[in-house]
Chains A and B, each alone.
Chain A
Amino acid sequence: MNDVMIEVAHLSHTYTTAPVKKKALDDVSMQIPRGECVAVIGFNGSGKSTLVQHFNGLLRPTPGSVRVDGVDVGGAQVNLRALRQKVGMLFQFPESQLFASTIYQDVAFGPQRMGLGRHELRARVKHALDIVGLPLQDYGQRSPFELSGGQRRRVALAGILAMTPRVLILDEPSVGLDGEGRAEFYAYLQRVRQEQGVTTILVSHDMAEVAAIADGLYVLHHGKLVMQGTPASVFAQSEQLRRWDLAAPPLHELLAALRQRGIALPEDVMSVEDAFHFLQQTQKQKQKQLPDVSSRS
């Protein structure tokens, strides 16, 4: 067992069906560590969706290679069914893909097709619904269409969790949710990570929303991997990010504006809390210094 879950080497992709041939991915290489939560970030058309569609075999790596858990997904012998069980993908607006008349049936649909026994199936659905905070006994027999947008999205997530994937790919998971729905969704996502040790890959163009939970960021621009690193190191480059049509989180924009005005905030300031303490300290020091200056003069 090695500690790299997904290994991408020199991956390129050109959409041949487009009227004008466009290179959607251009020589991308990356290694995503097992059990981590990473985010792929980029403006519309930067290639982020194209990249992750290689991870569960929706696209074949040509040219280049993609290995998931050691298995070459471009190999002739690859079992796509097993791969897609291992790598679950939540598409944008997944609640629009709910179709069954009860929440139980909807969540059970995927695992059912894996040929599980009735008890195993029920246990899986129960567990998945527990994780997303919609307990089976309360919600199982209700229609998904009675729920709020955020809850429906969690039903869609449960449908994927019930297949016990080792990798979870989420494409713009919080678009269209309000503050509460978003915070809830991320809280449940954190639980999934903690309880199941799933390697999580977020696709997003919103840095603020991934900053809270991602361990590492990969920035794509015009199909090229242009930056990678911890959120702190990536956000410190807010000028550079603007050039790629990306905005650093609002806090980091404020920090950049403060630095421009001569306040020497260290790079590891990552939260409102950090910034508050730093500014309070500097003010106290200033106040201490002021009387000293006057007494000396």
Chain B
Amino acid sequence: MLQPLIDLQQVTYAYPVRPGSAQQESPALRKLSLQIQQGEYVVILGHNGSGKSTLARQCNALLLPDQGQVIVAGMDTRDLASHPAIRARVGMIFQNPDNQLIATVVEDDVAWSLTVLGYSASEIRQRVNEALEAVGIADLRALPPHKLSGGQRQRVAIAGILALRPDCIIADEATSMLDPVSRQEMGKLFARLNRDLGITIVQVTHLLEEAVYAQRIVLMEQGQIVQTGQPGQLLSDIERLRALKLIIPDSLSLAARLRAAGFRIAEDAVTVEQIAREIARE
């Protein structure tokens, strides 16, 4: 049995209660267990407050479990000395690209972590080139980040992580501030990094349409995993998804209604193209 890249075992976590607050914080994660294998493309799906971002932050030791344990590439996140090694292997990008870019020029930003870690100039140059190529913004390398669109800035953030040659990228709602076209392109980029470079992708989102390209979906609610499976298995139960406060894309609604009316539409048809093909076949 292959050892998982990320192994959460019975993890419980509650955010510290703010002093003076009357509210008792309920745990954001409750006895949650999840294994993510090297090379997987996993989407963590849930509405705001379901615990999905907390789960993501446990995966690279930004948060540590109150109970249970998280093992990343064989390292226990409770061991503080392992944090730099864990974060070099599991990188994270966040919702707002503006909060994660620091340098005044794109290529300096991508080189930042490498510089801090003391890599040689030639090594840095090579890795930055590779990373910029991989995310498709090599032509923007000399521009200041504020000249870029939101989608381009997220690519800079991803390149900064790629330059560290990680095993895994966690994208925490990284597309929710982008326009629909950039969002689709970001999804394609994740799929490509996963397929071509073998990078494990963990994408945290509340959007079902982003989940359709994943190999596996992990559905969260109230700090627990309520279901996990392939998109086709999970996305055909529309009523359940709606009950979990997710927006149902019209393409899936239509497929479900037609299926209920006796149309033969395969359950694993989840993308717009697949659904169109199934309907046209009838």
Interface residues of A (CB under 8 A from B): 43-45, 148-149, 175-176, 178-183, 205-208, 242, 245-247, 249-251, 253-254, 257-258, 260-263, 271-272, 275-276, 279-280, 283
In the complex, what distance in Å separates the CA atom of A250 from the CA atom of B258?
Answer: 17
Closest to B260 in A: A276
Report which of A44, A207, A253, A276 forms a contact with B272, defined as CB distance below 8 A. Answer: A253
Cβ-based interface call for B176 (8 A): yes
Determine if B250 and A250 form an interchain contact, defined as CB atoms under 8 angstroms apart: yes
In the complex, what distance in Å separates the CA atom of A254 from the CA atom of B269?
Answer: 13
In the complex, what distance in Å separates the CA atom of A211 from the CA atom of B48?
Answer: 24
5 A-B pairs within 8 Å (CB atoms) are namely A180-B47, A180-B48, A247-B184, A254-B251, A261-B277
Min Cβ gap A200→B in Å is 21
How many chain B residues touch A (Cβ–Cβ < 8 Å)? Answer: 34
In the complex, what distance in Å separates the CA atom of A100 from the CA atom of B254?
Answer: 45
Inter-chain contacts of A179 with B (CB < 8 A): 47, 206, 245-247
A-B contact count (CB 8 A): 91
Q: Which B residues from 256 to 282 make CB contacts under 8 A with A?
A: 257-258, 261, 263, 272-273, 275-277, 279-280, 282
Determine if A257 and B179 form an interchain contact, defined as CB atoms under 8 angstroms apart: no
If the complex has contacts A205-B179, A279-B279, are A254 and B150 also in contact, measured as CB distance less than 8 A?
no
Inter-chain contacts of A182 with B (CB < 8 A): 247
In the complex, what distance in Å separates the CA atom of A84 from the CA atom of B53?
Answer: 39
Majority SS at the chain A contact face: helix
Report which of B181, B257, B263, B272 forms a contact with A254, defined as CB distance below 8 A. Answer: B272
Cβ-based interface call for B19 (8 A): no
In the complex, what distance in Å separates the CA atom of A161 from the CA atom of B5?
Answer: 52
Most B-side CB within 10 Å, residue of A178, A245, A251, A280: A178
Determine if A250 and B249 form an interchain contact, defined as CB atoms under 8 angstroms apart: yes
Determine if A283 and B282 form an interchain contact, defined as CB atoms under 8 angstroms apart: yes
Report which of A43, A175, A261 forms a contact with B276, defined as CB distance below 8 A. Answer: A261
Inter-chain contacts of B272 with A (CB < 8 A): 250, 253-254, 257
If the complex has contacts A246-B181, A254-B275, are A262 and B280 also in contact, measured as CB distance less than 8 A?
yes
Closest to B242 in A: A179
Inter-chain contacts of B279 with A (CB < 8 A): 258, 263, 279
Determine if A272 and B250 form an interchain contact, defined as CB atoms under 8 angstroms apart: yes
In the complex, what distance in Å separates the CA atom of A241 from the CA atom of B223?
Answer: 40
Min Cβ gap A158→B in Å is 21
Cβ-based interface call for B180 (8 A): yes
Report which of A176, A246, A253, A279 forms a contact with B258, defined as CB distance below 8 A. Answer: A279
Inter-chain contacts of A148 with B (CB < 8 A): 48-49
Determine if B253 and A272 form an interchain contact, defined as CB atoms under 8 angstroms apart: yes
Report which of A149, A247, A250, A263 forms a contact with B251, defined as CB distance below 8 A. Answer: A250
Cβ-based interface call for B177 (8 A): yes
In the complex, what distance in Å separates the CA atom of A249 from the CA atom of B251?
Answer: 10
Min Cβ gap B206→A in Å is 5
Determine if B179 and A280 form an interchain contact, defined as CB atoms under 8 angstroms apart: no
Report which of A245, A257, A263 forms a contact with B181, defined as CB distance below 8 A. Answer: A245
Min Cβ gap B173→A in Å is 9
Min Cβ gap B154→A in Å is 13
In the complex, what distance in Å separates the CA atom of A261 from the CA atom of B180?
Answer: 24
Cβ-based interface call for B149 (8 A): yes
If the complex has contacts A178-B48, A275-B254, are A258 and B276 also in contact, measured as CB distance less than 8 A?
yes
Inter-chain contacts of A261 with B (CB < 8 A): 276-277, 280
Q: A-facing mask of B151-183, CB < 8 A → 1, else 0?
A: 000000000000000000000000011011100
Min Cβ gap B28→A in Å is 15
Determine if A208 and B258 form an interchain contact, defined as CB atoms under 8 angstroms apart: no
Min Cβ gap A151→B in Å is 12
Closest to A146 in B: B23
Inter-chain contacts of A207 with B (CB < 8 A): 180
Cβ-based interface call for B209 (8 A): yes
